[in-house]
Structure 1
Amino acid sequence: MKRTLYILTTLILLSGINACKKSSLDLLNPNEPGMLALQTEEGMKRAGLGVYDKFGTRYWWYALTYHDVMGDSYFASVGNFSFRWTNQVATITLSNGTVLTPPQGGSQVTELRNRNSRAFGTENVFYNEWLAMYLVNNQANLLLQAVEDPALKLSGNVDVKKNVFRAWSYWWKGFAYSRIGSLYAAGIVTDEFAKSNNNYISRQKMIEEANKNFDKAIAALTAIPTSAGSDYDNVMKAVVPTLGVDKGGVITAQQWIRHMTTYKARNLLVNKTVSEMGAADWNALLTLAAGGIQATDRSFVMRSAEQNDLVGQTAWQPYRSLIKWTFISERLVQDFKAGDQRKERNFYVSASPTINSQGRGFQYSTRYEFIPVEDGGDYSSYEPGRAVIAIACSYEENMLMKAEALIKLGQLDEGLKKIDSVRTFQNAELPAVAGTSLTAEQAYEELRRERRVGLLNKNVSFYDARRWGVIKPLSQGGGRKGAVVLGPGGVLDTNATLDYNYLSYWDVPLNEIDFNNPGSGSAPVVGN
């Protein structure tokens, strides 16, 4: 991160309202008088909006795709950005006993670590999300520093606007630390602009820091009186790009608080395996989710726009999934229940199935292709602004966390009602499962399948595969049995076994370590 922060001391985003095009961004050197702009309301608003620019293609395309393919919701055989190595399974065992192994390279663990070097640039998988999140965190630190400057001049209710800026900053810090703690073996807490340290803390401690920042954001929002609408809206309309508007308006303070509460619930759920979760954990999850996102709440999202915008139309999953850079996985499609209209409106059977794409393995095979949004689908689009990806959490995720907690606490029908609610919300047109006398095992299978299909493109597929133990070696109880695989000759096997053998938590990138060697007492920086 010292390398990252060195870059940031010369590039600070201070403009970009309206459509938030990169062509309108004004990058200023903080050592020049331009930093005085942060003593103005307009400068603060533009710096707040500038958080979005810090994500970049490394996050919106590369990082999110890594998660999707490691969760076996999608697959990608292309070598660019090391996509192919990120979802290189160890073996596929067909139902006739034939064992298929990748024709090139070693295990995912070996191939990713072989590329953990500055020499590999964007091919170093470990670096892309790390860099994006610390860029976001640093921009938030800049805002927190500026909001406490006595020289800052704001119009209207100054206290309200300062608290909105504080909440905005702490929200993004909580988000960034959550992403780091949920993916890497260790991370760094840095709360000062353009400053770092070599105290690497464990992923568990990173999640604690994430939740502390969410709590600080909640405290700032709670301090805003309900009568402060115009001043609150004035800032929020400036810092959220038009591409990020959900359900037609500004997210309210209470909706935002619920969003962070849902994220805290996610942090609890996805950073333990199911077997590690005890009754106290499930009760804590249920309590958090009870205060989480509601069906009518607005939330933070991202859309694509013109090529030179924050997310270029061709530079993310919803577009790449239509041009054969990524494909929907057969294992995802098999998790749809018969008659699920989400499957019917989003996928069709191709006349030319993809089999052993690029000769790189039969995990890269599928019969299905996406139906774009403009033709009635939900996920993918050729057109700017049509497809949407949640930046953080969603109503469906919150409901399914309630469902899982209830099922694990023995309240099967109450949990199944939540699953039915999500299916209704997404127009699945499936019969209700509540009240059908399902066993605990059957109820949890409904939950598993619904998280797979109902949370597609909602940032949790890899986390789920990890906590369910799917990515562990087959010899340790991992893998997926009863899997659908399109094998040699295009023969469909509905009872194959996949041994993924993926890293659960990633190593800290050497791009960081090379400039910032761990200090005494640091947590291990190598994942497992």
Structure 2
Amino acid sequence: MKFMTKYNFFSAVCFAAIMLGGVSCKDQLDVGNPNAPTISANVSNETGLYQLAQGGVYINGFAGNGQDGWLGDSYFSLPVGYQELMADHVGADASNNQVTTIAQPDYIILDDGTKVTNSSPQVGIIRSYNSRAATGNGNNAIYYQWLNMYSLNNACNTVLSLVDGIKFSGDAASRANTVKAWCYWWKGYAYASIGSMYYAGLINDVAGTTNGNYVLHDAIINQSNTYFNQAATTLTGITSVTDYQTALKQLIPVFNQVGKGGIPTVDMWKRNINTMLARNIVANKLAPFINGNPNATIAKSSTTAMTAADWNSVLTLTTNGIKKDDIVFTGRSTDKNSFISANGGTVAALTTGVNNSTTFKISERFIQSYNAGDKRFTNNFNTANTYKNNYIYTTRYNVINGGLGTAGVAVLGSTDVGAYELFIAGSYEENALMQAEANMRLGNIEAGLTLVDAVRAYQGAGVTAVAGTGLTLANALTELTKESRVALFGRGVSYYNNRRWGWTYDIANGGGSYGNTVITAAGVINKNVTINYNFMDYWDVPADESVLNPTTTSVVTKNPNYN
């Protein structure tokens, strides 16, 4: 990979700064250790390899070696922040990094028919600021996800290049295979992120090298699937549970080994893989559901529609995906040495508090996804202050720090150290909702609604069941889309959901979002607003890559569906 000089630190040698030798668990992620040796000096033993493999994921990948500090301080506040903005879960008024402009729709039509137009549409903003100069000034929004994920990928490449030369204790093959599975899993994750967001990308599986062989996003997703499947195959070959657990405990930071986090069994990890494989399908196909129409179509898109075969594949994968009690990959903040901070490391943290003072403000469109009487709503929101802004960002709602404490009810956000559980990859709720949608689309509406009810019960919603009420497919999908928005807040999938449902596409091409709540700056409450987001469905390749590393193939680095 090639990056502008300011960020040219992702080579194999440079990320050795993440490593520590002979330290306690609480210091695992201390990137400022002046005694951190070079790779060749440090990674000559098992302990050094574990530390390199852990730091490559959590520091290079998710903390971006400090380069995600423009908005919060991690991958889960900055790149995921853009996704939550474009999903219309949150709004923002800050000027840095285009956080205000990246998610502004092209136009809205208020209840009285008034059309309000955005003078700076998203596509124009992306193209205007996709330059190396804009990146240097913190204005290139599409740069950071690419930065984080190719850094993560290269870190895993480096570990894989070293693992066979390490002498492991115990059952050496099982420990080595655990490290390999770790790297294959995170390479699958990185390629999934790139392929789900960018029109084109690079397949690079050799540490410290680059190429100009750009491929379309579908090929990147195929490579993600290859590595997820390779992780599953490698896990199957592990023969010593004890040595597997010993190795994995060194790879996952100890402060993440709580709650739904921890040390997954081999079978649990394989179910996590199945959930991610299912996500790769649904996130990168269309399943339009526009204005209550399950048969809607999108005329111009960078991808294709789901088929019955696709839905059956999703059903098979999710049936064997994450279960309620499975351990998954999570993150927690600590008072030091963490890859996420308590008050800035996640979208939830940046949304928690009185809305006038938070970076993100919860959206009125997000709030309207709650059904009447939902305990998750009453536990997590109040109307103590109204934030007023033009266009769509006025909101009456504030996120209560840590919730009201209602027993058994999910908490949306907290800025207390260690309190918020970040879901890094898949979750039970995501798996169940994909399974629900597959069932609905295959004609098993009641089975799908039963899963929606199960997710609501799991999060303590306390609402009336929708299964057994005779809902049509359209009404069932309404419940599904509402629950997906509510249950998966901040988990990095909601923009993909809005895109595949067609909501982010131009109304002229069959897209758009209808029946929305929007409050004007004057305080007028509109409850049937049409929103034409018209977002670029798959982003251009960042200029920091495409300029320094021009394409050597026929694949273009700008999405040709947007002029």
Q: TM-score, normalised by structure 1?
A: 0.93
2:134 aligns with 120
Q: What per-residue deviation string (whole Å, max 9, x for no partner) do you get for residues 194-251 of structure 1? A: 11111001100000000000011111100012xx222111111111012322436311
Map 1:133-144; keep pairs closer than 5 Å.
Answer: 133-144=149-160
Answering whether residue 163 of structure 2 is matched by residue 147 of structure 1, we say: yes
1:40 aligns with 45
1:341 aligns with 375
| Amino acid across the alignment from 2:83 | H
Answering whether residue 2 of structure 2 is matched by residue 2 of structure 1, we say: yes
Q: What per-residue deviation string (whole Å, max 9, x for no partner) do you get for residues 373-399 of structure 1? A: 164361211211111221011101101
Unaligned stretches of 5+ residues in structure 1: none
> Which stretch shows the higher mean deviation, 410-419 or 76-85?
76-85
Distance in 1, Cα, partners of 2:475 & 2:116:
31
Answering whether residue 253 of structure 2 is matched by residue 241 of structure 1, we say: yes
Name the SS for the 2:536 alignment partner. Answer: coil
Distance in 2, Cα, partners of 1:203 & 1:7:
23
1:196 aligns with 210
Answering whether residue 229 of structure 2 is matched by residue 215 of structure 1, we say: yes
Q: Check conservation: 1:14, 1:43, Cα contact below 8 A.
A: yes
CA RMSD in angstroms comes to: 1.9
2:277 aligns with 264
Distance in 2, Cα, partners of 1:25 & 1:286:
46
Distance in 1, Cα, partners of 2:2 & 2:206:
13
Distance in 2, Cα, partners of 1:524 & 1:53:
28
Q: Report the Cα offset of residue 527 of structure 1.
A: 6.0
> Which stretch shows the higher mean deviation, 245-254 or 213-222?
245-254
Map 1:57-68; keep pairs closer than 5 Å.
Answer: 57=68, 59-68=75-84
Q: Check conservation: 1:307, 1:314, Cα contact below 8 A.
A: no
Map 1:348-363; keep pairs closer than 5 Å.
Answer: 348-350=382-384, 352-356=385-389, 361-363=390-392
Unaligned stretches of 5+ residues in structure 2: 69-73, 289-304
Q: Are the structure 2 counterparts of residues 181 and 284 from structure 1 closer, same or farther at C-alpha, using a change threshold of 3 Å? A: same
Map 1:424-439; keep pairs closer than 5 Å.
Answer: 424-439=457-472
| Amino acid across the alignment from 1:182 | S
Give 2:178's match in structure 1, choosing from 158, 164, 169: 164
Q: Are the structure 2 counterparts of residues 508 and 24 from structure 1 closer, same or farther at C-alpha, using a change threshold of 3 Å? A: closer
Q: Check conservation: 2:502, 2:511, Cα contact below 8 A.
A: yes
Distance in 2, Cα, partners of 1:354 & 1:463:
27
1:107 aligns with 121
1:369 aligns with 398
| Amino acid across the alignment from 2:59 | D
1:405 aligns with 438
Q: What per-residue deviation string (whole Å, max 9, x for no partner) do you get for residues 121-173 of structure 1? A: 33211110000001100110011111122xx1111000000100100000010
Q: Check conservation: 1:81, 1:124, Cα contact below 8 A.
A: yes
How many positions carry a matched residue from both structures? 515
Q: Check conservation: 1:109, 1:503, Cα contact below 8 A.
A: yes
Q: Report the Cα offset of residue 431 of structure 1.
A: 1.3
Answering whether residue 15 of structure 2 is matched by residue 11 of structure 1, we say: yes
Q: Check conservation: 2:10, 2:154, Cα contact below 8 A.
A: no
Give 1:451's match in structure 2, choosing from 460, 484, 488: 484
Distance in 2, Cα, partners of 1:507 & 1:298:
35
Name the SS for the 1:274 alignment partner. Answer: coil
Q: Check conservation: 2:322, 2:428, Cα contact below 8 A.
A: yes
Distance in 2, Cα, partners of 1:471 & 1:260:
28
4+ residue runs over 4 A deviation: 24-29
Q: What per-residue deviation string (whole Å, max 9, x for no partner) do you get for residues 236-268 of structure 1? A: 111101232243631111111100110000000
Q: Are the structure 2 counterparts of residues 41 and 484 from structure 1 closer, same or farther at C-alpha, using a change threshold of 3 Å? A: same
Distance in 1, Cα, partners of 2:233 & 2:34:
32
| Amino acid across the alignment from 1:23 | D
Give 1:391's match in structure 2, choosing from 424, 427, 436: 424
Answering whether residue 306 of structure 2 is matched by residue 300 of structure 1, we say: no
Q: Report the Cα offset of residue 34 of structure 1.
A: 4.5
Higher helix share: 1
1:52 aligns with 58
Name the SS for the 1:484 alignment partner. Answer: strand
Distance in 2, Cα, partners of 1:384 & 1:68:
23
Q: Check conservation: 2:541, 2:557, Cα contact below 8 A.
A: no
Distance in 2, Cα, partners of 1:23 & 1:396:
33
Distance in 1, Cα, partners of 2:424 & 2:560:
25
Distance in 2, Cα, partners of 1:310 & 1:346:
25
Q: Report the Cα offset of residue 362 of structure 1.
A: 2.2
Distance in 1, Cα, partners of 2:472 & 2:555:
46
> Which stretch shows the higher mean deviation, 79-88 or 155-164?
79-88
Distance in 2, Cα, partners of 1:242 & 1:374:
26
Name the SS for the 2:130 alignment partner. Answer: coil
2:92 aligns with 76
Distance in 2, Cα, partners of 1:326 & 1:440:
34
Q: Report the Cα offset of residue 11 of structure 1.
A: 2.9
1:288 aligns with 317
Distance in 2, Cα, partners of 1:199 & 1:315:
36
Q: Report the Cα offset of residue 306 of structure 1.
A: 2.7
Distance in 1, Cα, partners of 2:539 & 2:142:
7
| Amino acid across the alignment from 2:482 | R
| Amino acid across the alignment from 1:230 | T
Q: Report the Cα offset of residue 90 of structure 1.
A: 1.3
Q: Report the Cα offset of residue 7 of structure 1.
A: 3.8
Q: Check conservation: 2:512, 2:534, Cα contact below 8 A.
A: yes
Q: Check conservation: 1:66, 1:83, Cα contact below 8 A.
A: yes
1:252 aligns with 265
Name the SS for the 1:353 alignment partner. Answer: coil
Q: Report the Cα offset of residue 400 of structure 1.
A: 0.7
| Amino acid across the alignment from 1:405 | A
| Amino acid across the alignment from 1:117 | S
Q: Check conservation: 1:264, 1:288, Cα contact below 8 A.
A: yes
Answering whether residue 505 of structure 2 is matched by residue 472 of structure 1, we say: yes
Q: Check conservation: 1:141, 1:193, Cα contact below 8 A.
A: yes
Distance in 1, Cα, partners of 2:255 & 2:82:
23
Q: What per-residue deviation string (whole Å, max 9, x for no partner) do you get for residues 315-350 of structure 1? A: 232221124210111011111111111111111113
Q: Are the structure 2 counterparts of residues 6 and 455 from structure 1 closer, same or farther at C-alpha, using a change threshold of 3 Å? A: closer
Q: What per-residue deviation string (whole Å, max 9, x for no partner) do you get for residues 286-314 of structure 1? A: 01111100000010112222365311223
Q: Check conservation: 1:28, 1:35, Cα contact below 8 A.
A: no
Give 1:177's match in structure 2, choosing from 170, 175, 191: 191
Distance in 2, Cα, partners of 1:474 & 1:192:
43
